[in-house]
Amino acid sequence: MHKQLIGFDIDDYVIVKLTPTGYNILSDEYKEIMNNYPNLNVDYHQYLKTNFEDAGDGWTRWKLVELTQTFGKYMFDRVHQPFENSIKFEVIKYGQ
C-alpha cells in the first residue's frame, strides 16, 4: 500500500452516495425550515440543490464543509449512516 498526503481545503468538493437515512435527514431539515419560515418559497428539490449537486450514478457532490455541517452530528452510528463509507475527494492539481 502506498500512502500519499494531498492538500485539501474544507471548501473543496467530495463525492458521496447518500443513504435513505441521509435523505431522511435532509427531508426533516427541510420540514423544520418550512415550519419556521412558512413564507419561504422553496420547494424540496430546490432545497436539495442548495446543499449538493447530482454527480450521477447515485453520487452527490458537496463542499466538505457543508457535508460535515449537515451530517456531522449524525455520524455516531455506523448502522444508520447518512452516506456510504466510500468517499471520493475531488482533487485539483495546480501548475501541472
pLDDT tens, position by position, 25-45: 999 999 999 999 989 888 888
* Number of structural domains found in the chain: 1
**Rounded to whole angstroms, what are the CA distances from 3 to 80, 87, 88, 95?**
29, 16, 16, 22
Give the integer Cα–Cα distance in Å for 20 and 38.
26
Nearest to 64 by CA among 6, 7, 1, 15: 15
**Residue 82 covered by a domain:** yes
With respect to residue 78, please indicate whether it lies within any of the assigned structural domains. yes
User: Is position 8 within any domain?
Assistant: no
pLDDT confidence tier of residue 95, bands split at 50, 70 and 90: low
Give CA–CA dist 58/42, Å, rounded. Answer: 23
* 49 assigned to some structural domain: yes
Residue 75 lies in a domain: yes
Range of the domain at 55: 13-89
Q: 35 in a domain, yes or no?
A: yes
- pTM for the model: 0.84
